[in-house]
Amino acid sequence: MKCFRYYKDKCKTKRGSNSAPELQNQRKQKNLVLDRVTKSSDSFPSPRSIPELYREKEHNLRVFTFQELRDATNGFNRLLKIGEGGFGSVYKGTIRPPDGQVVAIKKLNRDGSQGHKEWLAEVQFLGVVNHPNLVKLLGYCCVDGERGMQRLLVYEFMPNMSLEDHLFNRALPILPWKTRLQIMLGVAQGLAYLHGGLEVQVIYRDFKSSNVLLDNNFQPKLSDFGLAREGPTGDRTHVSTAPVGTYGYAAPEYVELGRLTIHSDIWGFGVVLYEILTGRRALERNRPTGEQKLLVWVKQYPTDSKRFSMIIDPRLGKQYSVGAAREIAKLADSCLDKNPKDRPAISQVVQSLKQAIEYSEEPSTSKNMTSKSSQSKLIRKVK
């Protein structure tokens, strides 16, 4: 699914830079001085910004030449193309020996400064973060030549496509119920790290099933950090920015008012929870009008109603308990609360998913999830 990408980002990245990561070294001193001046009014030490943290870790990333990446992909051969998104094309590549590593290479379509900005954000955020549920960036290539600019990103290769592929591509085997829950738990843990496990809070901003990549054991990793932003600091409650994201997944307060917070990520998480429950995409233009928007459609089948089971992915057959599915729907509904502050923190979501997986592991107890006591136990954790 393509992004709605209208870039009128009013809130300029104060400490960010429009230059390539390697060029930033030259500005290091100047920026550090500027940072200290900006922060001198603070009475307590402020957390360091992503660009500052990046400067400490940039040596971990390898700088590739364009030729190296051209060789790795046989000249960006279309037979090696594995995907295409709003940023550009993605290729499977093999770095020449002695390295020999299989990688995924994302090549920016040449489209000026916005592409560069996203590329730079991805290099800086992924250069700083480190978590088993976040895709690993190995390096990048940045060339400004006579024939225009080249911006590429080199990632660890994720061999098992995306959650979107496994949920919606009918040519692939059905994704089992428990695997769906485990994938959601994994990415929730990745989001929890972004929201609270770093010196600076990170808003991911583009949570959707196509950005959840899988390894051969269906362990998930979040990819695509081009839209990530640092969370609000000091007294600010949100980051103000013109909406950038993907239709069907973005939170209403973000779309309507440009208010971005970590709660916006929780909304996107709620949408994907409904995708795993129903096997339907957030937005499906080829369905009858009332069914095109997933969230509008599922509202007609409230979690406490008898009709609820009618929305569950028919491909799941009998491998789930309706009680457990109901709990997941309730969790999704809490993530989709209109009031951002009433949505659960991602740490609460992690707890609820762990519990749901526990129940799903024991067939006898999974049935018990319909019992009042187990239901309230799960919800208490969520609210």
Which parts of this chain interact with Mg ion (CB under 5 A)?
A: 85, 211, 224
CB of 316 to ligand ATP, least distance (A): 23
Q: Does 78 bind ligand ATP (CB under 6 A)?
A: no
206 carries an active-site annotation: yes
Contact 139, 63 (CB under 8 A): yes
Instruction: Choose, from 42, 165, 206, 304, the residue flagged as catalytic.
Output: 206
**Residue 49 CA neighbour count, 13 Å, CB half:** 19
Q: Does 155 bind ligand ATP (CB under 6 A)?
A: yes
Q: Does 135 bind ligand ATP (CB under 6 A)?
A: yes
Short-list 206, 104, 79, 194, CA closest to 158: 104
Q: Where are the beta strands (DSSP E) in 33-77?
A: 62-63
- Between 85 and 176, whose beta carbon lies closer to Mg ion? 85
Q: What does the DSSP 8-state code read for residue 134?
A: B
Contact 176, 244 (CB under 8 A): no
Q: Does 190 bind ligand ATP (CB under 6 A)?
A: no
Q: Does 104 bind ligand ATP (CB under 6 A)?
A: yes
Angle between helices 372-382 and 322-335 (to 10 degrees): 20
CB of 200 to ligand ATP, least distance (A): 23
Among 161, 174, 200, 255, interactor with ligand ATP by CB under 6 A: 161
Q: Does 87 bind ligand ATP (CB under 6 A)?
A: yes
CB of 163 to Mg ion, least distance (A): 11
Q: Does 211 bind ligand ATP (CB under 6 A)?
A: yes
Cα separation, 225 vs 123, whole angstroms: 8
Q: Does 86 bind ligand ATP (CB under 6 A)?
A: yes
Cα separation, 279 vs 289, whole angstroms: 18
**Residue 189 CA neighbour count, 13 Å, CB half:** 17
- Between 168 and 320, whose beta carbon lies closer to ligand ATP? 168
Q: Which residues contact 230 (CB under 8 A, 6 or more apart)?
A: 49, 50, 200, 201, 202, 203, 239
107 labeled binding residue: yes
350: number of Cβ within 10 Å:
19
Q: Does 140 bind ligand ATP (CB under 6 A)?
A: no
Short-list 288, 298, 297, CA closest to 325: 298
Among 73, 124, 210, 360, interactor with ligand ATP by CB under 6 A: 210
- Between 84 and 256, whose beta carbon lies closer to Mg ion? 84
Q: Does 248 bind ligand ATP (CB under 6 A)?
A: no
Residues lying near ligand ATP in the complex (CB under 6 A) are found at 2-3, 82-83, 85-87, 90, 104, 106, 135, 155, 157-158, 161-162, 210-211, 213, 223-224, 246
Annotated binding site: 107
Residues taking part in catalysis:
206
